[in-house]
Amino acid sequence: MTPTYKELCLFVCDVAKSTGQMMANERKSFDPARIESKGMHDLVSYVDKESEARIITALGAILPESGFIAEEGTSAKRGERFNWVIDPLDGTTNFIQGLPLYAVSIGLLDGDELVLGVVYEVGRDECFYAWKDGGAYLNGDPIQVSKRTDIHDALLATGFPYNDFSRMDTYMEFLEWSMKNARGVRRLGSAATDMAYVACGRFDAFWEYDLKPWDVAAGTVIVKEAGGTVVDYSGGNNYLFGREIVATNGCLNELILTKIGEFAKK
């Protein structure tokens, strides 16, 4: 019998935590010589690959019919119904540089619908998780998005483009507007963590373009179950594969989309 979404989610929490702790141990004796480049400013380490293999083995055991959409391509298997969307180490550059902000991110697609998400932020030992209609949690405690409605009181998060600079003009104009109008803007280097922080109210909104499905799948479920909104730049639902995303507390969604649209039209 197929496990429930809740049962699967709690199992994934354990997988993410054990993988994260393995990463933390590897970081103590990390070998920079084993870093590879997948493209401009796009790095991968042996820790990414070993972590992904570990995760896929565990998830394949609990849900044998499932497939995988994973950053490092450890498995090309696709499931007819279930597919895991995995970023084994979100924040690879932070990890390589010794910055203690990186995460394990695991989401699950049931057909075309994201139904559970787990983001384990290793440095703070914080596990954010949610499943469909089950609410969102941080280390066992329920979480909700903020209720801030005034942009001047809001703390925003973003990620800098690192190899696709085709929309830099629009991005920089909106960044400038955000810096002038919001309480502040942060760039942590892990989109999964950014979205988890929106879900628990540390950030009020997050935006970025050129992200991949594994960057945002888990965070999407957590934000939505925490009462927030996740859309693409047009306000639609093409954020998983469309490479643009806005995640907010809901209150600021319309304003942010309006401003992004205004700058894009220039």
* CATH assignment at residue 245: 3.40.190.80
For the chain, the domain total comes to 2
List the domain range (segments joined by +) for residue 198: 151-264
pLDDT of the chain along its 266 residues, tens only? 889 999 999 999 999 999 999 989 888 877 776 666 655 444 466 787 889 999 999 999 999 999 999 877 767 789 899 999 999 999 988 988 889 999 999 999 999 999 999 999 999 999 999 999 999 999 999 999 999 999 999 999 999 887 778 888 889 999 999 999 999 999 999 999 999 999 999 999 999 999 999 999 999 999 999 999 999 999 999 999 999 999 999 999 999 999 999 988 76
SS (H, E, C) the chain: CCCCHHHHHHHHHHHHHHHHHHHHHHHHCCCHHHEEEEECCEEEEHHHHHHHHHHHHHHHHHCCCCEEEECCCCCCCCCCCEEEEEEEEECHHHHHHCCCCCEEEEEEEECCEEEEEEEEECCCCEEEEEECCCCEEECCEECCCCCCCCHHHCEEEECCCCCCCCCHHHHHHHHHHHHHHCCEEECCCCHHHHHHHHHCCCCCEEEEECCCHHHHHHHHHHHHHCCCEEECCCCCCCCCCCCEEEEECCCCHHHHHHHHHHHHCC
Which of 94, 119, 142 finishes a domain? 142
pLDDT of res. 125:
97
Residue 43 pairs in a beta bridge with 37
Tell whether 226 and 189 lie within a shared domain: yes
Tell whether 74 and 163 lie within a shared domain: no
Tell whether 99 and 168 lie within a shared domain: no
Tell whether 158 and 252 lie within a shared domain: yes
Tell whether 11 and 122 lie within a shared domain: yes
Tell whether 122 and 172 lie within a shared domain: no
Tell whether 200 and 165 lie within a shared domain: yes
Tell whether 160 and 212 lie within a shared domain: yes
pLDDT of res. 107:
98
CATH of residue 42's domain is 3.30.540.10
Which of 98, 118, 142 finishes a domain? 142
pLDDT of res. 12:
98
pLDDT of res. 97:
87
